[in-house]
Amino acid sequence: MSKVEITEGAERKFAADRMLGRLVKWLRVAGCDVIYGAHLSGYGLIRAARAENRIILTRDRSLKQKQPPPFIFLESDRYDEQLRQLIRDCGLKWGERLFSRCLLCNSVLQARSKTTVEKLVPPYVYSSQERFSWCPACRRVYWPATHQRKMLDALEKIAAA
Ligand SMILES: [Zn+2]
36, 21 in Cβ contact below 8 A? yes
- Convert the pLDDT of each residue in 45-81 to its tens digit: 999 999 999 999 999 999 999 999 999 999 999 999 9
Written as one letter, the residue type at 153 is: D
77, 89 in Cβ contact below 8 A? no
Alpha carbon of 3 to ligand 1 centroid (Å):
31
Q: Which of 26-30, 95-99, 119-123, 155-159 has the lowest mean pLDDT?
A: 95-99
In this prediction, residue 3 carries a pLDDT of: 47
In this prediction, residue 52 carries a pLDDT of: 95
Alpha carbon of 122 to ligand 1 centroid (Å):
18
Q: Is 40 exposed, middle or buried (0-12, 13-18, 19+ CB in 10 A)?
A: buried
16, 23 in Cβ contact below 8 A? yes
Alpha carbon of 111 to ligand 1 centroid (Å):
13
> Among 76, 53, 79, which residue's Cα sits nearest to residue 1?
76
| Percent of the chain scoring above 70 in pLDDT | 93
Alpha carbon of 65 to ligand 1 centroid (Å):
34
> Does the pLDDT at position 145 exceed 70?
yes
